[in-house]
Amino acid sequence: MKFKPVSDHFLLSLPLLFLLFHNRAEARLFSLSRPKPDAAASFARWLVSQSSWGVLNTLSSDLGGAPFGNVVSFSDGLPHEGHGIPYFYLTTLDPTASNALKDQRSSLTISEYPVGTCGKADPENPTCSKITLTGKLKVVAGNTGEAEFAKKALFTKHPEMKGWPKDHNFQFFKLEIENIFLINWFGGPKPLTVEQYLQAEM
Amino acid sequence: MKFKPVSDHFLLSLPLLFLLFHNRAEARLFSLSRPKPDAAASFARWLVSQSSWGVLNTLSSDLGGAPFGNVVSFSDGLPHEGHGIPYFYLTTLDPTASNALKDQRSSLTISEYPVGTCGKADPENPTCSKITLTGKLKVVAGNTGEAEFAKKALFTKHPEMKGWPKDHNFQFFKLEIENIFLINWFGGPKPLTVEQYLQAEM
């Protein structure tokens, strides 16, 4: 006995059909919201706000001044309300935060690949976008409006952070952006100033 | 009219049930091959060989000596035959390769998150593993056995590389590993020497 093709069976099930089209519609909405590559500022803001994690790079005095990348979660605001500045929740038990307290030079690197909108392009293909925000990694002062914003932005996108161990002394950090390296098409990095990036309309 | 719960409809369709169990079996095989966190060397080798891309860090003289992360594809061997040393296919049109030619200090950072085996853990949760290999980023000399190995390892996992523009002068690079930072459970980084990592049985 041969199994019938799966598609025949899907057609027998109206709720499944509904689910299929429902998911397709969502997928389409999502890909519609990806800005065109030429709209560099909006594109960069889109990539940062769609992403929940990246690699945060600092200078490691323990490793002879080598650049040290570390996987971190971040948030630039509430979902669909990103403001462009990445905030982090870090502990000095981890080398990244302690490196930054010695030397603030830092960068955050994000790939579009895990977002799922690169199609069949290789992660290193320039049409699969990537961004590196370079600047200074700084502690956000406690009991300020900015600390409240950072907390809400991070804990909304990363709910488990609320329960992370108190004795690890996690602190809010932010990356003060000084330079932007965005590749989202052929032809090299897009010219994009920090001001254009921060003022982009979403 | 209310839709019936989807599960009822799945149960009506034997081929769908078959597909579900088939996929589950694959998922289980895959997760069985994930070494236990205590087996640090095998775990590190598993994570590197399962991954096809990461963030490669160099020191940017153009950006005041800042650590500069860049999304790159890599390969440490044929699928399921990883040897632990990551190889890259880079052009000096990109800052990473030109940085490395000035200063070889570098690191490669990989997250388990996009591999898909972190369950519900946040990307920054220590049970969602991550590795940073720190060392020297070097050009692989042409017309050598190692260059042949790098080519085969990269072009097998990243087939589109074969067609990348000849006039971009892509070259094979490798990371000579000097230090390993592996987090794959609570309790901080796993002690792991480069020798243990390279000699691990897979």
- How large is the ipTM? 0.85
Per-residue CA distances from A136 to A47, A54, A100, A139, B57 (Å): 20, 16, 8, 10, 16
Average pLDDT over residues B148-159: 98
pTM of the model: 0.86
The answer to whether B198 and B84 have CB atoms below 8 angstroms apart is: yes
Q: Which pLDDT belongs to residue B6? A: 34
Residue B22 to residue B18: CA distance in whole angstroms: 6
Q: Does A136 touch chain B (CB under 8 A)?
A: no
**Residue A134 C-alpha from the chain's centroid:** 14
**Nearest alpha-carbon partner for A153 in A170, A136, A169, A172:** A172
CB contact (8 A) between residue A65 and residue B105? yes
Residue B45 to residue B132: CA distance in whole angstroms: 12
Q: What is the mean pLDDT of chain B?
A: 88
Q: Which pLDDT belongs to residue A201? A: 81
Tell me which chain B residues have a C-beta less than 8 angstroms from the C-beta of A158: 122, 124
Residue B32 pLDDT level (bands cut at 50, 70, 90): very low
Q: Which residues of chain A have pLDDT under 70?
A: 1-32
Please name the member of B4, B111, B179 whose beta carbon is closest to the beta carbon of A63. Answer: B179
- Whether the pLDDT of residue B22 is over 50: the answer is no
**Can you give the residue ranges of every domain in chain B?**
40-199
Residue, of B23 and A84, whose pLDDT is higher: A84
Please name the member of A13, A14, A57 whose beta carbon is closest to the beta carbon of B69. Answer: A57
Residue A151 to residue A143: CA distance in whole angstroms: 11
- Residue/partner pairs of A194-198 with CB below 8 Å, 24 or more apart: A196/A40, A196/A41, A197/A41, A197/A44, A197/A45, A197/A84, A198/A83, A198/A84, A198/A85
Q: Does A176 touch chain B (CB under 8 A)?
A: no
Nearest-Cα distance to chain A for B149, in Å, is 20
Per-residue model confidence as pLDDT tens digits over B72-127: 999 999 998 999 999 999 999 999 999 999 999 999 999 999 999 999 999 999 99
For B10, the 3-state DSSP assignment is helix
- Output the six-digit token pair for A60: 């490691």
**Backbone torsion region of residue A181, taken as left when φ is above 0, otherwise alpha when ψ lies between -120 and 50, otherwise beta:** beta
Q: Does B63 touch chain A (CB under 8 A)?
A: yes
Q: Which pLDDT belongs to residue B19? A: 41
Architecture of domain A40-199: Roll (2.30)
The answer to whether B40 and B196 have CB atoms below 8 angstroms apart is: yes
Residue, of B123 and B11, whose pLDDT is higher: B123
The answer to whether B73 and A122 have CB atoms below 8 angstroms apart is: yes
Q: Does A70 touch chain B (CB under 8 A)?
A: yes
Nearest-Cα distance to chain A for B104, in Å, is 9
Instruction: Collect all residues with Cβ–Cβ distance below 8 Å to B94 and sequence separation of at least 6.
Output: B70
**Residue B77 C-alpha from the chain's centroid:** 11
The answer to whether A168 and A91 have CB atoms below 8 angstroms apart is: yes
- Please give the radius of gyration of chain A, using alpha carbons only, rounded to the nearest integer: 20
Please name the member of A15, A55, A65 whose beta carbon is closest to the beta carbon of B69. Answer: A55
Q: Which pLDDT belongs to residue B201? A: 81
Q: Which pLDDT belongs to residue B124? A: 98
DSSP character at residue A154: H
- The CA-based angle B65-B70-B73, given to 5 degrees, is 145
Please name the member of A93, A95, A134 whose beta carbon is closest to the beta carbon of B68. Answer: A134
For B122, the 3-state DSSP assignment is coil
Q: Does A93 touch chain B (CB under 8 A)?
A: yes
Q: Which pLDDT belongs to residue B194? A: 98
